[in-house]
A and B are shown apart, each in its own frame.
With several copies, the nearest count.
Chain A
Amino acid sequence: MTSIPMWGGPPGPRPTPPSGPFYTSAEMMTVAAARALGNDDICFVGIGLPSAACNLARLTHAPRINLVYESGTLATRPDVLPLSIGDGELCETALTTVAVPEMFRYWLQGGRITVGFLGGAQVDRFGNLNSTVIGGYGSPKVRLPGSGGAAEVGMGCGQVFIIMRHSPRSFVPQLDFLTTLGHGRTGIERRQLGIRTKGPTLLVTDLCIMRPDPQTNEMVVASLHPGITREQVREKTGWDVRFADVVAETAPPSAEELEVLRSLHARTARAHGTAGGSES
């Protein structure tokens, strides 16, 4: 994982030392994602970046958020980030743990989750995700892990937040495989199919925050992280990326956000004896 060092100031040459605390682009991404969550959310959490963001939200501005992992743990409050989706820590700190068929039937399909938080290997401009295969399905260049619960998360959750590192290999004009339906290959299929959940409403990267255009459902840049230029986003996006009429600047991570996130990662590394969960 490469991470761009950045400061909490404007881009361009810096006549003075940076005004805010030092942070990495990965930290900015996790913090920006965490901020999108609130106390009333019931959040279905994927492992890795989503898990870091969700727990950061819980440990800062959203202490009453309810985190749900697909291993069946409801309202869990892990002290360290899980290495796997089924870590004992998730169960020990949960309100209760249900069987996996129940998780998918009653909780996801039953519409009891407000936000699903996903990553993927590829995303397209309409928030569709590929986590199945690079290359042809029958003749794969790279065989990826597959859907897991992602296909159902995309369908069942009230809305979907995506968190992914920006790169031309990941932000592609055409997915090699559509694992998880976003707004559909041309942005209208989800609506046409009559699916009542919202699909992707937020895409957070290490460069920017993207949201769907209300008309076309294309993910457009709504906010640039401090120091990031439109040109940098264009270079790292595999399609002709669009920007909102007004593009905001993401507020840099606060000292508290950084402290809580770093301390979470440090606890996690100590617990697992590894850099597990340190992706952000």
Chain B
Amino acid sequence: MEFLTVHDAIARHVKDGDQLALEGFTHLVPYAAGHEIIRQGRRNLTLIRMTPDLIYDQMIGMGMARKLIFSWCGNPGVGSLHRLREAVERGSLEIVEYSHGAMAQAYEAGAAGMPCAFFRGYRGSDLPAVNPDIRFIRCPFTGEEITCIPALRPDVTIIHAQRADREGNVLIEGIVGVQKEAVLAARRAVATVEEIVEDFGPRSTNAVILPHWTLSAVAVAPRGAHPSYAHGYYARDNRYYIAWDAVSRDRETFRAWMRKNVLEAGQ
């Protein structure tokens, strides 16, 4: 683990062609890091995320992704992601589609060093017909059908969290989503944080903490989850999500918005 700026953390750890996971289940979505990836113009990415939202709509709209692995794509509480939807409907984005439980367990399997996840799922559903990576085996004891999908092992996972201590351990509170699993499943991992503190101080004995040795880099990014939120720091900017619908509907409006608000916005 080393402390880096957001710029340097992305420059060092995100490469063209990477399998990249930006995780955050509505909460703690790593927007600042995502915008920096857009500014640095990475290409040919495989984007992984349970709930692709605006940040992936932006990356896909900027032509940075060739493939998306996901389980629910939408603008939560608002509607569609128009850039993503256009890319899918046009056929310019390859998709690998799961359900939430499957994908969460695929991260879990990656974190646990397993080649695949085993669970109950997809029986009677059409999803296995469109995703050849959904397979079935038999329980060696009961003969029951068990579903398998490959473990997720991103080249790099990026998360946002509340704070790091001076050793680079990272504390996550609130809706913790699948971030711990996504970090532990990854070959490299970057955490942006609201702040760095000397010591976490009094806390739950069972706090959700990623030890420094599980991270490649930690970078300070105040309000780094905006327009998502950081429990204990700032609320979700619902208006941003609502306004996004009109921005992303039109290709040119989208381009102009991205130029002004991301490309020329610096970090």
Contact = CB atoms under 8 A, between A and B. Distances in A.
Chain B associates with chain A: yes
Contacts of B51: 148
Contacts of A21: none
A42 interface: yes
Interface in A82-104: 82-88, 90-92, 94-101, 103-104
Nearest to B88: A143
Interface of B is mostly: loop
A159 interface: no
A70 interface: yes
B46 to A, nearest CB: 17
Interface string A139-171: 111110111111110011000000000000000
Contacts of A111: 113
A101 B178 contact: yes
Interface stretch (B14-22, B104-112, B255-263): B104-112
A148 B72 contact: yes
Interface in A228-280: 272-274, 276-277
Interface string A172-190: 0000011111001000011
Given A105-B119, A140-B88, A149-B100, A90 B127 contact: no
A11 interface: no
Interface of B: 25-27, 50-51, 70-74, 76-77, 80, 85, 88-89, 91, 97-102, 104-105, 107-108, 111-114, 119-127, 130, 167, 169, 174-178, 180-181, 184, 203, 205-209, 211, 213-214, 229, 231, 235-236, 238-239, 241-242
A106 interface: yes
B238 A276 contact: yes
B113 A109 contact: yes
B213 A148 contact: no
Interface string A207-245: 000000000000000000000000000000000000000
Nearest to A99: B176
Contact of B184 (A112, A137, A143): A112
A181 B120 CA distance: 13
Contact of A101 (B88, B104, B206, B238): B104
Interface residues of A, number: 70
A152 B121 contact: yes
Nearest to A189: B124
A273 B50 CA distance: 27
Contacts of B74: 145
B27 A88 contact: yes
A145 B175 contact: no
A112 B181 contact: no
A4 interface: no
A66 to B, nearest CB: 6
Nearest to B207: A96
Contacts of A142: 89
A88 B236 contact: yes
B60 to A, nearest CB: 12
Given A146-B73, A151-B122, A181-B123, A104 B238 contact: no
Contacts of B88: 140, 143
Given A151-B121, A181-B124, A272-B238, 16 more contacts: A71-B177, A87-B26, A88-B235, A95-B169, A99-B181, A104-B100, A105-B111, A108-B101, A109-B120, A139-B91, A143-B73, A146-B71, A148-B51, A179-B127, A273-B239, A274-B242
A156 B113 contact: yes
A180 B206 CA distance: 30
Contacts of A104: 100-101, 104-105, 119
19 contacts: A71-B25, A71-B26, A71-B175, A72-B175, A73-B175, A83-B238, A84-B26, A88-B27, A91-B231, A100-B50, A104-B101, A109-B101, A109-B113, A132-B97, A140-B89, A145-B72, A155-B123, A180-B125, A189-B124
A152 B181 CA distance: 19
A101 B181 contact: yes
B125 A179 contact: yes
